[in-house]
Structure formats: C-alpha cells, structure tokens
Amino acid sequence: MVHPCYKLYLVDRGEGSIQMNSGSYPLKAGHVYFLSGAQIRSQLCQKQMDLYWLHFNPESLYLRHLLAFTPAFISWRREEVEWMGEISQEIKSMFPPFTGSFQQPKEDRPISAFCRIQGGALLILSKVLEKLDPSTILKFQPEYERLKPALEYMQLNSTNNPSLKRVAQQVHLAPNYFHRQFKSIFGMTPFEYMLEERLNRARDLLSNTSLSVKEVAEKAGYENPLYFSRVFRSKTKRSPSGYRNIKRELHD
C-alpha cells in the first residue's frame, strides 16, 4: 500500500516506474521528481535503484490546498535545477547507503549541511508551486484570508477542544455556515483539523519526551488516556507506545 503523502525523489542510479491515476511514468537516474502519493497506484523497480526520498504532508492547510492543484507528477533533469548538483552531493555525503534498515545521517556533518538540504527541498517545492495557474491562488486567497483568524485560533487552542460556535465567532459567522465553508475550502471539518493538530502534538511528545502515555494524552487535550489510545491507533495504525518504540529504534 502506497502512503498518500507527497514525495520528493532524487534517483542517483538505476530505473523504475510509477503507475498513477493518469498513467505510467518512468523514474530515471539523474532526475528529480515530485509525486502526489494520493495519485499513485503502484511502484515498480526494474533495476536496482539508489534513490533518496522525502515524504511529507504539509501542516499548513494553505499549502496543502495549493498542492492539490499542482500536477501529480513533475520531473526535472538534475542539471536543469542549477543548485541541485551541490545539494545532491551534500545528501550523498550525509546519508549512508541503505543496508536493509534505516540509518541516521552522519553526526559529523555541520548544522549548515542540514540547512542546505532543507533549503534544497523548499526550493524544489517552490518550483512545484510555479506550476500553479495564478488564477487558482487569486481565487483561493480571499477565502483563505477570511477564515484565517479561525484557523489560527484552532492552532493555538486545539488541545482545549473549543466548540464550533467559539471557533466560528473568530470570523463572525454562524457555526453551520462556517462549518460548510471550512470543509468546502480545506476538504476537512474543523473538528477533523483540530483532531489532526492534537495528534501532531501527541506524536511530537511521544518522539521527543519521556512523558508517560497518560501525560501525553493530557497535554494533547485528552482527559481519558484509554480514549486517546483508541483515537491514536485508529489514525496511525499503532498504539502510542508502539509509535514511540519505532521512533526510538530509528534513532538508536
């Protein structure tokens, strides 16, 4: 099963192919790719590939909305991206070859190297957004700006579980009308967005602190740790403890 996230691929050697809703596309060495995982049906590696990848889902609903209107498959030859040669060498020097288990980047690399790689990923994303029809942004911008205060309020207060009425008051709209507008624009309900924010908070705490599952649940806005565990498992397919153990294994 292909995870429905966005993907950046840098193919260094070998070749493969991607079957998407719109057709089949090759993956070739010396190319950089942007892919929408939601459109991928299958992936096939015809020859052994050396591939560096980044999978992500934007936390920003604004960016998430815009990416939904970009092509699902975009490719560039590495030499077409003038700064990609330097970035790809940085990536290869930092990340060891895959040997059957995930490995952390080499610790002797300076923080500036991490910044350059992150900057390279953002630059590729900027090239993706260049593919947007300007009218898409112009049409969406006023709607986004109108609902932005409510969005910011939910980001700050998601762990307090504010009511729909309270959220809608931030933009002076009736609750039901706000609910319809929010779902129409962002493809999810306000409740689903706040649930996602709480789960992101829980993931961060499980990955980066030694807090108990009960303490993580409280800080993520759940009074009942058993209910929190059920919700967490339903969304991530793992228990909070199982998620933490996997993260620790990746960092050991």
Write the pLDDT tens digit of every residue in 118-177. Answer: 888 888 899 999 988 888 888 888 888 999 999 999 999 999 989 999 999 999 999 999
Cβ-contact 213, 241 below 8 angstroms: yes
Looking at residue 147, its pLDDT comes to 93
Looking at residue 3, its pLDDT comes to 59
Cβ-contact 19, 53 below 8 angstroms: no
In the chain, domain spans = 6-129, 134-252
Looking at residue 117, its pLDDT comes to 82
In the chain, the DSSP E strands lie at 6-13, 15-20, 23-28, 31-36, 40-44, 50-56, 73-77
Low-confidence ranges of the chain (pLDDT < 70): 1-4, 46-47, 96-109, 247-252
- Between strands 73-77 and 31-36, the pairing is antiparallel
Q: Which fold has domain 134-252?
A: Arc Repressor Mutant, subunit A (1.10.10)
Cβ-contact 175, 217 below 8 angstroms: no
165 HSE (CA, 13 A, CB side) = 0
CA dist 10 → 15, 101, 164 (Å): 11, 19, 43
